[in-house]
Amino acid sequence: MQKVRFFKSVHVKLVLIYVLLILIAMQIIGFYFVRELEQKLKENFQTSVDDRLKLVTFSVKEELLKERTEADPKIEQSLKTVLGGISSTDISEIQVINASYRILATSDASNQSIVGQRATEKLVRQSIATPTRTEKIALDDQTKTRVWLVATPITSNGKVIGTVYLKSNIESVFRQMNEINRILAGGTALALAITVILGIFIAKTITKPISDMRKQAQAMAKGNYSRKVRVYGNDEIGQLAIAFNHLTNRLQEAQSTTEGERRKLASVLANMTDGVIATDRKGRIILINTPAQQLLNSEDDELMGRPLISVLGLEEEYTFEDLIHMKDAVNLDFSLPERPYIWRANFSVIQKETGFVNGLITVLHDITEQEKIEMERREFVSNVSHELRTPLTTMRSYLEALADGAWRDENIAPTFLNVTQTETERMIRLVNDLLQLSRMDSREYELNADIVDFNKFFNRIIDRFEMSKSKNVEFQRHISETPCYVELDTDKITQVIDNIISNALKYSPDGGYIRFGVTAQEGILKVMISDDGMGIPKENVERIFDRFYRVDRARARSMGGTGLGLAISREMIHAHGGKIWAESEEGHGTTIFFTLPYELDEAGEWD
């Protein structure tokens, strides 16, 4: 793997390209030089041999055309003398052949036996038959060297009288070419070696900055922007290095800005009370913040990649395309039997400037409390209207009867007026209770707190009810005689206790018991008021502190109740920093508890 990576590096590629270019250039130059030199050497060799061949041919022709006497030597002897005068290392042998293809003479002293025989060489026959000069380079069968064979016809008056056949040793030319090729190959190898060395240094000057930039790019990919590329010069590569360093600085600034924005966005998303869900263009969830996970009761990354409409339970009503074009918010009801759970989902499209939709942002807001408040408001208005309509209807009926003449009847008129007065007082109590609740809701009240002995304070209130009770109900007290000092608003706590005891007396049967108790532990004073009344169904126990709530509406109304006493009591106890609750079993009575905070001083005494 390392070798493959090495050969793929720019450094090696540059050196190889440089060497190949030099090698190709030298091959082209060498090929041209060797070819031309070989041609020139061959021409020089052939020219030199041709010059001597012409002299021999001229002398042979003179001998062949010479008229001989008996005193003259034979033609074979004369031609032998002519050929014997040629002494050269280039010329191996010269033969003289007449027109009848008979060898008349040869310059080779060791080959004189061929004189008088017929010549069989193809070049000789072609030169006599044509008659033209023929030549070729061939391999000598005896010496295994290359020779240049030339057959030059001798003519007289247009008639061939013979031919001169020459065999010259051209092997020396090829040996020279081989030597030159060897020298050229050695020079080429030396030049290539020097070229490789120079190429490595030259390539290094180019690849070193590039290698630095590569390392810098890898460091940048890992988030390290502190490293800088070294500038080696002011050429194009140096300018590229400067530009790369500038790019690094800009990327570092952009990364810092982006990271800062990302942290801000992450902080905003994490600290938002609303849930935020982002999807891709196919509707799959790609981002979800913690509030949204809590709303959906899911763990980390559990919902990633799932379709949004499936997670929100909208697959039966809407498609993802419907949500993209959704302008209004959608209410999502995830209520359970034991508690309501309602969300409001707002959808916002993520799209490019070209209009291409990249995804969808969904903001989830828990509107359970708002819906609950709105429902309570509607119920409150309905209850107030109903509570006011009943006495008003009664008063109108009796007043109409009086207006119609009933006032003249001394027996009926007082009764009608008494009912009207009773209903008027009931309406006044209702309005006063509503005003008091309104002030408490808007915090338009002040606690006039005093430090009192709660046990004595509680006993006084019980005494008052015990003296004025109209039913045969027995009071049982479980209250310590030890002083228990608490800081409270006596008027408001008196109203709370009055409401609770009044309800206990209303619903307790004759011969029943009402029990009172006070306990103190760990900074909490706990008060108990219990009766033996009809009790409250288990599913309604938590609702008795709601406004206008009555377990038995007809009986409560007949007893003059407004349905606001316990609601006011709850607000007052909360204003003191305590809690109030009820425990009841249907048919076995009801117990109301409330707590008040208190503190001990350093000596262990009550404040």
What tokens does 507 get? 């619903």
For residue 593, what pLDDT is reported?
Answer: 92
Separation between Cα atoms, residue 99 and residue 121, nearest integer Å: 14
- Of 523, 521, 453, which Cα lies nearest the Cα of 486? 453
Task: Reply yes or no on whether the pLDDT at 4 is more than 50.
Answer: no
Q: Find all residues with CB under 8 Å of 11, minimum gap 6, and list them.
A: 200, 203, 204, 207, 211
Predicted pLDDT at 517: 92
Q: What confidence tens digit (pLDDT) does each residue in 15-55 have?
A: 777 778 888 888 888 888 888 888 888 888 888 888 888 88
Residue by residue, what is the 3-state secondary structure of 219-274? HHHCCCCCCCCCCCCCCHHHHHHHHHHHHHHHHHHHHHHHHHHHHHHHHHHHHCCC
Q: Greater confidence, 423 or 513?
A: 513
Of residues 13 and 528, the one with the higher pLDDT is 528
Checking if the pLDDT of 431 tops 60, the result is yes
Q: Sort 428 into a burial class: Cβ within 10 Å, 0-12 / 13-18 / 19+.
A: exposed
User: 340 with 372: CB under 8 angstroms?
Assistant: yes
* Residue-level pLDDT at 603: 37
pLDDT value at 294 more than 50: yes
Q: Can you give the pLDDT at residue 602? A: 40
Residue 163 · residue 153 · CB < 8 Å: yes
Pairing of strands 357-366, 275-279: antiparallel
Check: CB of residue 473 under 8 Å from CB of residue 510: yes
Q: How many CB atoms lie within 10 A of CB 321?
A: 10
- What are all long-range contacts of 577-582, with beta carbons under 8 Å and residues at least 24 apart? 580/496, 580/545, 582/536, 582/541, 582/542, 582/544, 582/545
What is the reported pLDDT for 470?
74
> pLDDT-based confidence at 499, cuts 50/70/90?
confident
- The pTM (predicted TM-score) of the whole model is 0.41
d(CA 47, CA 61): 21
| Confidence category of residue 338, pLDDT binned at 50, 70, 90 | low
pLDDT of residue 194 exceeding 70, the answer is yes
